Amino acid sequence: MRIDLHTHSRASDGTQAPAVLVAAARDAGLDVVALTDHDTTAGWDEAAAAALDVGIALVRGTEVSARSRGVSVHLLSYLQDPEHPALAGELARAAESRVTRARSIVELLARDVPITWQDVLDQARDAVVVGRPHIADALVARGVVPDRDAAFAHLLRSDGPYHVDHYAPAAPVAVAAIRASGGVPVFAHPAADARGRIVPDDVFDELAEAGLAGLEVHHRDHSPAQRERLLAIAERLGLIVTGSSDYHGAGKLNRLGENLTDPQVLEEIVRQGATEVVGA
């Protein structure tokens, strides 16, 4: 069974509609795919209908923004109740803050390069959560940079002059909110040091105490050495281990199914989660 537990649709910063993404997952030979858009569940209904139509199992989830000691942390929440106020409130606040942040970044960029807020909206289209990837796409469309990667490497880098922070709860608070909503929290790409600062090892202990279920170990942004480090941490803390593509459609080089999750791990996620896998 081929299981990919981390993908993004146009509801956040992917380039495909949820139904198109689900069909692409089936065409890529996956048996199970998770839709985990940033700070939103807006794509769930469309993805669920598509999963039933094309014959693939869908794990409904969200990639939740958080912070730990000044470091950006992403937590994958699987199979939560989307109406539970503990997590829904945090997602709404984070999504609103992302839009405010994006507008501020565009205002700063516009002093030096040709870009407008309407350019960003033209790229975001029906996205519920507008963010930096849409700004990157607007810069590409304007001919300022050749692709998203170049935009993030230069104009949109986190230590650059155009960076603006957005609201995100403390990571233990986010883990607790996910658990309260019946979700299963997994730390996404926790050792992706090429993206910026990563958390020290004792943060894993702190999050495990708060209810963290697992680590996304097998990810293209992790070196072999980092994967070994994370596997040792997962074993020490009794955490499950997942593998995923972090697929964004044409937005990134990541390909569906390039890293996979063991079926027994999915069984444990289902056991802990509040909602069912669609089409299982």
Other CB atoms within 10 Å distance of the CB of residue 121 = 14
Q: Is the pLDDT reported for residue 200 higher than 80?
A: yes
Share of the chain above pLDDT 90, in %: 87
Q: Is the pLDDT reported for residue 125 higher than 90?
A: no
pLDDT in tens, 60-71: 999 999 999 999
| Burial call 164-179: b when 16+ CB within 10 Å, e when fewer | eebebbebbebbbbbb
Mean pLDDT of 243-252: 92
Q: Do domains 3-92+167-272 and 99-153 have the same CATH topology?
A: no
Mean pLDDT of 262-267: 98
Distances (CA, A) of 228 to 10, 92, 225: 33, 36, 5
Q: Is the pLDDT reported for residue 82 higher than 80?
A: yes
- Which band of pLDDT confidence, cut at 50, 70 and 90, is reported for residue 252? confident
Q: Is the pLDDT reported for residue 12 higher than 80?
A: yes
- Which band of pLDDT confidence, cut at 50, 70 and 90, is reported for residue 280? confident
Q: Which pLDDT does position 230 carry in this prediction?
A: 97
Mean pLDDT of 233-256: 95
- Which band of pLDDT confidence, cut at 50, 70 and 90, is reported for residue 195? confident
What CATH number matches the domain at 99-153, 1.10.150.650, 1.10.1040.50, 3.30.70.60, 3.30.70.20? 1.10.150.650
pLDDT in tens, 33-57: 999 999 999 999 999 999 999 999 9
Q: Which pLDDT does position 170 carry in this prediction?
A: 97
DSSP string, the chain: --EE--B--TTTT-SS-HHHHHHHHHHTT-SEEEEEEET--TTHHHHHHHHHHHT-EEEEEEEEEEEETTEEEEEEEES--TT-HHHHHHHHHHHHHHHHHHHHHHHHHTTTSS--HHHHHHHHTT-SS--HHHHHHHHHHTTSSSSHHHHHHTTT-TTSTT-------BHHHHHHHHHHTT-EEEE-STT-GGGS----HHHHHHHHHHT--EEEEE-TTS-HHHHHHHHHHHHHHT-EEEE---B-GGGSS--TTSS---HHHHHHHHHH-SSPPBT-
Of residues 166 and 119, more confidence is placed in 119
Q: Which pLDDT does position 85 carry in this prediction?
A: 96
Q: Which pLDDT does position 122 carry in this prediction?
A: 94
Second-level CATH architecture of 3-92+167-272: Alpha-Beta Barrel (3.20)
Whole-number Å distance between alpha carbons of 236 and 87: 28
- Which band of pLDDT confidence, cut at 50, 70 and 90, is reported for residue 251? confident
Whole-number Å distance between alpha carbons of 20 and 126: 14
Mean pLDDT of 215-235: 97
- Strand boundaries in 39-92, DSSP class E: 57-68, 71-78
**Those residues with Cβ within 8 angstroms of residue 253's Cβ, 6 or more apart along the chain or in another chain:** 149
Instruction: Provide the residue count of the chain.
Output: 280
Q: Which pLDDT does position 158 carry in this prediction?
A: 83
Q: Which residues pair with 4 in a beta bridge?
A: 33
Tokens of residue 22, six digits? 């689900």
User: What's the whole-number average pLDDT of the chain?
Assistant: 95
Q: Which pLDDT does position 159 carry in this prediction?
A: 83
Tokens of residue 56, six digits? 């693939």
pLDDT in tens, 112-122: 999 999 999 99
Every domain of the chain and the residues it spans: 3-92+167-272, 99-153
